Amino acid sequence: MSSYFLNRIHKYENNYNSNSANWLLKKSEKFVNKLFSYVRIQNFFIPRLNLSKEINKICPLNFDIFMSENSSSPFDIEIKKTLLRIEFRYKFESQILLKKLVIQAARIKSTPFDLEKYKYISPLYPIIHFPNDYSEEGGLHNDYMSVDLYGTRVIWLPLTDYEYPGIITKGNYFNFVAQYLGLKIAHKIFRKSKNINLRNKHKAGEWIIWNDTFFHKGIINTTKKVACASVVRFSRRLTKETFLEIGDLLRSNPIDPYLSETNDFLVDKAKALFEKIIKNISLEYKGDDNSNDIYGYVKSNLNNFSKKEIAFILHIVEYSLSLILLRVTTKSKINWFLEDKFNSKVLIKLIFQNKKLIEKIKLELI
């Protein structure tokens, strides 16, 4: 018997094929989906229910590792953040939390968003905000992605207390113009538009939901405490992001020490492999000859695992690498190793190559 995450991710890694439709069909589908998004009025909702009790019970929020070392490079900090995000996302406790969230948000009709009609959900996507951490800063945006005519819904779930507003939006006029004429024009017309806080402060577990046309922005943490939240997306169709089936999740086992232990053992294995790969990338980046053959290393480390377990481990390693890749690509101005001549292109290339390598091993082994 395996945990729900293990079963589901194995199934997903074996079956998901995003290139099934031809490009013309995809293009016209995208166009129709976008057209239908114009009739979805931007909306967010603060429910009466919350998961405060559950979060205080199960989330091991340990940020001490970050506070102890002031001399680490931004790259080291990013790696530690990724490791923590992996824990929040794939550990057994996260599965329990996700199930409770689904019960609260979708089973009981606690929001005006028709969530009971949604069949798929993403795993937690945690975001960690250090005090004055500009690497997390994003612009005003909505969470639209082309899935179907109904669009997707997003829950924002704070995992720590927030002593600052965390998320802001703009006024109705601004948002209206942004949706129909674009953000650029909205910014031009409303030059001095004010930020509106969804809440001035948040308690851990007090989730908020919005639809995929709603404009919002995560703001800089100006307090001295680390803040952490998780995003979860609901969709009616299976997508690369929302690959957990809600029905199965609701039927999954409650707390089981054996399932929990094996699940978390595999997560730790994936974390160790990811750390090894990252160390090697750093060595290669610095031109060190001591770099290892990652292909051989990863393969020999997976000798004693079943196909299902390998699918789970490599899924996590690949996901971790894609998080780092995304960060280094979008924040190319950050001097990740604090050196005189930082070369972001070389670093991006190395991470990309290693990610491809993991994909290759996955195809060979599962």
Chain residues that interact with Fe ion, rule: CB under 5 A? 143
- Type of residue found at 39: V
Task: Find out whether 183 and 92 touch, Cβ atoms under 8 Å.
Answer: no
**Nearest approach, Cβ of 167 to Fe ion (angstroms)?**
8
226 Ramachandran zone, left/alpha/beta (phi>0; psi -120 to 50): beta
- Type of residue found at 47: P
50/60 Cα distance (integer angstroms)? 18
**Nearest approach, Cβ of 333 to Fe ion (angstroms)?**
22
**Three-state DSSP class for 209?**
strand
**Nearest approach, Cβ of 139 to Fe ion (angstroms)?**
10
**Nearest approach, Cβ of 119 to Fe ion (angstroms)?**
22
Q: Which residue, 213 or 280, has its beta carbon nearer to Fe ion?
A: 213
Q: Which residue, 205 or 218, has its beta carbon nearer to Fe ion?
A: 218
Q: Where are the beta strands (DSSP E) in 96-207?
A: 120-121, 125-129, 153-158, 167-169, 196-197
51/230 Cα distance (integer angstroms)? 13
Q: Which residue, 121 or 267, has its beta carbon nearer to Fe ion?
A: 121
**Nearest approach, Cβ of 82 to Fe ion (angstroms)?**
19
Q: Which residue, 93 or 143, has its beta carbon nearer to Fe ion?
A: 143
Q: Which residue, 143 or 206, has its beta carbon nearer to Fe ion?
A: 143
**Nearest approach, Cβ of 340 to Fe ion (angstroms)?**
36
Give, as one character, the DSSP assignment of residue 10.
H
Residue 151 CB neighbours (<10 A): 21
Q: Which H helix or E strand runs over 230?
A: strand 227-235
Q: What residue is closest to Fe ion based on CB?
A: 143
331/279 Cα distance (integer angstroms)? 20
**Nearest approach, Cβ of 143 to Fe ion (angstroms)?**
4
**Nearest approach, Cβ of 214 to Fe ion (angstroms)?**
9
Phi, psi of 338 (to 5 degrees): 50, 55
Q: Which residue, 143 or 284, has its beta carbon nearer to Fe ion?
A: 143
363/311 Cα distance (integer angstroms)? 9
Phi, psi of 333 (to 5 degrees): -85, -15
Contacts of 226 (CB under 8 A, 6+ apart): 63, 66, 128, 129, 130, 131, 160
User: 344-347, long-range: CB within 8 Å, 24+ apart, which pairs?
Assistant: 346/285, 347/281, 347/285
**Nearest approach, Cβ of 196 to Fe ion (angstroms)?**
15
Task: Find out whether 131 and 226 touch, Cβ atoms under 8 Å.
Answer: yes
151/102 Cα distance (integer angstroms)? 18
